[in-house]
């Protein structure tokens, strides 16, 4: 049973590889977009404009109550109701981006709340305001202290990307599932997919550790 | 949406709650057991548990539920959909709970254990009377947070055909050609379910005001 599974997988290695590369690409694009959108939301959150802060806090809290799969359906089936027609791959990346941007904004805010105020006050005293205060004084320590959490969020994006199989995005789980369905080798194909997800997550964890170590030595 | 649709969504919500609660009830004590194995540095098992937890934490629930549901019958184990769903979520939450329990165990003050040992308390009694009540309180916020995460990944069981809230909403949308209203009702249901966990956590925290490890 298992030798045949490995044999079939070897024959289908291109399909698995295609799915794996797609998962990496989808995750990378969504992570970069969610990162920038999350930064923007974070900047608005700490802008001290009361109405924006309250509205965004509500929106982020609401987003944190939504299961990703439900949100994915909302984007995929909901947007066409508003006349926006997008393909399933785009819908998947949009869903991953919007969903994770809320979480990223929230975790950056957590890092900001734990930041000692004197650095920011010194920045004020030296004439840093607005954009320059954000990028030169606030963001460097916030991003550094949030690196492990940002790494966890990246792993979350990798895992969430598997949900895109429900809207037929051809990522890793989709590839494993179609091989399973055609050749009936469920054990080998899904175990192979899970091991590839594991390697991806281990790589992210190693990357996070390298960043933290480098930051510690350069201080 | 008609009355039948609301009933279908309510039945879906009942499935979401049942699958999640069962997974929590199974996964949480298993996680504590694994954490104790790692905390006690049980030779041989320690490394295996660490690798298992790392693997499970990297595994998407969708992939795991497909593996359990489709692969177990090939070795002669027919599992019903619902049981496969519960097993998947329980394995995932077990891994995360192991990390939560381990963190509070590592933070547990050793002087209390030394004192208990000095009074001749056997190991099991030490754990039950000294350690458990305190680590349970310390771990509570993180555990409840993990429970809300379980509810959020629970739609994964829909891929093998368990009709929980999200799938129920999606089916109504497909039948009525109006996908958004049932999805919004489903969203409201999740907000209520997740909100209920947070309220219970607040109540438990207020129940005995002394802080952990005090």
- Domains, chain A, ranges and CATH? 2-218 (1.10.3720.10)
- Residue B213 domain flag: no
pLDDT value, residue B63: 97
pLDDT value, residue B210: 55
CA distance A168 to chain B (A): 12
B96-124 pLDDT, tens digit each: 999 999 999 999 988 998 999 999 999 88
A183 touches chain B (CB under 8 A): no
The mean of the pLDDT values for chain B is 92
Q: Write the residue in B54, B61, B66 that is nearest to A177 by C-beta.
A: B66
Range(s) of the domain holding residue B23: 3-207
Count up the domains in chain B and report the number.
Answer: 1
Q: Which helix (H) or strand (E) holds B70?
A: helix B61-71
Handedness of CA A74, B147, B163, A181 (dihedral sign): positive
> Which ipTM did the prediction report?
0.90
Handedness of CA A133, A134, A136, A137 (dihedral sign): positive
- Residue B179 domain flag: yes
- Residue B214 domain flag: no
Q: Which of A73, A185, A197 to mutate to test the interface with B (most CBs of B within 10 A)?
A: A73
pLDDT value, residue A91: 95
B194-206 pLDDT, tens digit each: 989 888 888 887 7
Output the domain CATH number for residue B14.
Answer: 1.10.3720.10
**Considering the entire predicted model, what is its pTM?**
0.91
Q: Write the residue in A66, A68, A197 that is nearest to B59 by C-beta.
A: A197
pLDDT value, residue B171: 93
The mean of the pLDDT values for chain A is 91
Start-to-end CA span in chain B (Å) = 54
With contact defined as beta carbons under 8 Å apart, do A57 and A154 qualify?
A: no
């Amino acid at each position: 049973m298992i030798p045949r599974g490995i044999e079939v997988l070897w024959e289908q290695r291109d399909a698995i590889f295609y799915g794996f590369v797609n998962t990496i690409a989808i995750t990378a694009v969504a992570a970069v977009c969610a990162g920038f959108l999350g930064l923007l939301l974070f900047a608005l959150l700490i802008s001290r404009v009361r109405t924006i802060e309250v509205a965004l806090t509500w929106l982020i809290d609401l987003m944190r109550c939504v299961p990703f799969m439900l949100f994915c359906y909302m984007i995929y089936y909901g947007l066409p109701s508003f006349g926006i027609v997008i393909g399933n791959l785009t819908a998947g990346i949009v869903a991953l981006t919007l969903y994770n941007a809320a979480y990223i904004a929230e975790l950056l805010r957590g890092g900001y709340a734990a930041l000692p105020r004197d650095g920011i006050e010194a920045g004020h005293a030296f004439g840093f305001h607005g954009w320059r205060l954000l990028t030169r004084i606030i963001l460097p320590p916030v991003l550094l202290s949030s690196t492990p959490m940002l790494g966890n969020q990246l792993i979350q994006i990798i895992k969430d990307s598997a949900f895109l199989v429900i809207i037929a995005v051809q990522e890793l789980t989709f590839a494993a599932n179609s091989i399973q369905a055609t050749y009936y080798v469920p054990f080998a194909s899904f175990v192979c997919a899970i091991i590839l997800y594991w390697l991806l997550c281990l790589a992210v964890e190693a990357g996070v550790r390298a960043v933290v170590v480098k930051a510690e030595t350069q201080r | 949406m008609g009355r039948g649709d609301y009933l279908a969504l309510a039945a879906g919500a009942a499935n979401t709650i049942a699958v999640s609660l069962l997974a929590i009830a199974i996964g949480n004590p298993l996680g504590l057991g694994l954490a104790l194995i790692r905390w006690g540095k049980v030779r041989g098992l320690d490394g295996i548990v660490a690798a298992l937890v790392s693997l499970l934490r990297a595994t998407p629930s969708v992939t795991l539920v497909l593996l359990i549901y489709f692969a177990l019958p090939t070795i002669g184990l027919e599992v019903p959909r619902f049981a496969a769903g519960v097993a998947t979520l329980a394995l995932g939450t077990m891994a995360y709970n192991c990390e939560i329990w381990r963190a509070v165990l590592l933070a547990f003050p050793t002087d209390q254990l030394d004192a208990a040992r000095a009074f001749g308390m056997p190991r099991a009694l030490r754990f039950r009377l000294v350690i458990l009540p305190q680590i349970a309180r310390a771990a509570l916020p993180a555990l409840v947070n993990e429970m809300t995460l379980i509810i959020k990944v629970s739609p994964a069981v829909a891929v093998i055909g368990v009709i929980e809230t999200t799938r129920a909403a999606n089916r109504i949308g497909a039948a009525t050609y109006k996908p958004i209203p049932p999805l919004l009702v489903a969203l409201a249901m999740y907000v209520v379910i997740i909100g209920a966990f947070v309220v219970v956590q607040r109540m438990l925290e207020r129940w005995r005001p002394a802080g952990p490890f005090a």
